[in-house]
Amino acid sequence: MLLGFGSHADVSRAATRAVTEVIQFQASLPEEVIGDNLPDRLTGSEAIDWYTFQTLEANDFLLPQGQIDPSQYRAQREYDVKQLIAAIESVGTTVFLLDATRPDIGIPVVRCVAPGLRSWWRRLAPGRLYDVPVQLGWLTTAHTEEEMNPIGMFF
């Protein structure tokens, strides 16, 4: 099973980015998981286990949680950025923006920092991962650590 995490405010661009990430994921497959000559059980990395034995049925948290109307999500760059910042600030996280554009190069660069956000690595300290889904109304009570996704990213 391969995953693509590409994202964008525009649905078709998000899909394209996710597919290109799946292709990158596939290119990184260990040689021993390619083909039909797999031993009964490979040992070693979590990646080999994931590529070889995991299924959607066993990881149903990867399945969609309903349907959306893609026409609702049209990219409006300035509006989308402002909306994202407002959403982050609405749950008590401050967003800091820095114009890091170098005049000699002229390509716009912005650095954005939001202290308190968690890395996409499996970090389960108290805070945002537990509190924000409740604040946004996605859950009525916070999950416990035991209820969180048990699988960390391995790449």
Helix (H) or strand (E) holding 97: strand 96-99
Give residue-wise pLDDT tens across range 25-56.
888 776 766 666 555 555 557 777 788 788 88
Look at residues 139, 88, 146 and name the one whose alpha carbon lies nearest to residue 117: 88
Give residue-wise pLDDT tens across range 124-146.
888 878 888 888 788 999 999 99
Domain assignments of the chain as residue spans, ordered by start:
1-77, 80-117, 119-154
- 112: which strand partners? 97
Helix/strand/coil (H/E/C) assignment for every residue in 5-35: CCCCCCHHHHHHHHHHHHHHHHHCCCHHHCC
Record the pTM: 0.60
